[in-house]
Amino acid sequence: MYCPVCFQNTLKIRSNGVVKLVFNGKSRNTSLFTYNLQKETHEQLLAKLREKIVDWMSFYSEFANKTPIKNFEAYSADFICTNSCKIDMVSTKVSVVNLIYSAQEVTTLLKEEGRKFNIDIEVRFDN
Ligand SMILES: [Zn+2]
């Protein structure tokens, strides 16, 4: 991935950090979880993602006018540039889709849980 400061392909995700989720531009203060790529298996990381998707959907399913979820973001600010750049991670949010999770896994998970909560999923990830 490209570093926003030096523009080299030197941006790497930290082995542990926080992933935040945003649904149609909205989020709950519970829509985040920690990850540790060295200690957790992919299945454990998927279970955490599912848990937080369920948390948001169970909240959103109470709404009277539910619009389909067209935009889903899972991003982290826990990245480092191997050139030691100082990166403003408040404004730099890097998607972990196609990084920690495949786009296919995320889409499948959203659709599975969306079906349970009667929430339509129209998410498309660009590759
Ligand atoms: Zn850099």
Question: Ligand 1 centroid vs 61 CA: distance in angstroms?
Answer: 42
State the pTM of this model.
0.92
Structure confidence at residue 127 (pLDDT): 57
Structure confidence at residue 114 (pLDDT): 97
Beta-ladder partners of 75: 20, 95
Question: Ligand 1 centroid vs 55 CA: distance in angstroms?
Answer: 36
Report how far Cα 118 is from the mean position of its chain's Cα atoms.
Answer: 21
Structure confidence at residue 93 (pLDDT): 85
* Rounded-to-integer distance, Cα 20 and Cα 94, Å: 10
Question: Ligand 1 centroid vs 84 CA: distance in angstroms?
Answer: 6
Question: Ligand 1 centroid vs 23 CA: distance in angstroms?
Answer: 29
Return phi, psi of residue 105, to 5°.
-60, -45
Q: Return the percent helix, strand and coil in the chain, to nearest 5.
A: 25, 25, 50
pLDDT values of the chain reduced to their tens digit, one per residue, 127 residues: 899 899 999 999 999 999 999 999 999 999 999 999 999 999 999 999 999 999 999 999 999 888 999 999 999 999 999 999 998 877 888 999 999 999 999 999 999 999 999 999 999 887 5
Structure confidence at residue 56 (pLDDT): 96
Helix (H, G, I), strand (E, B) or coil at 61: coil
* Rounded-to-integer distance, Cα 103 and Cα 46, Å: 12
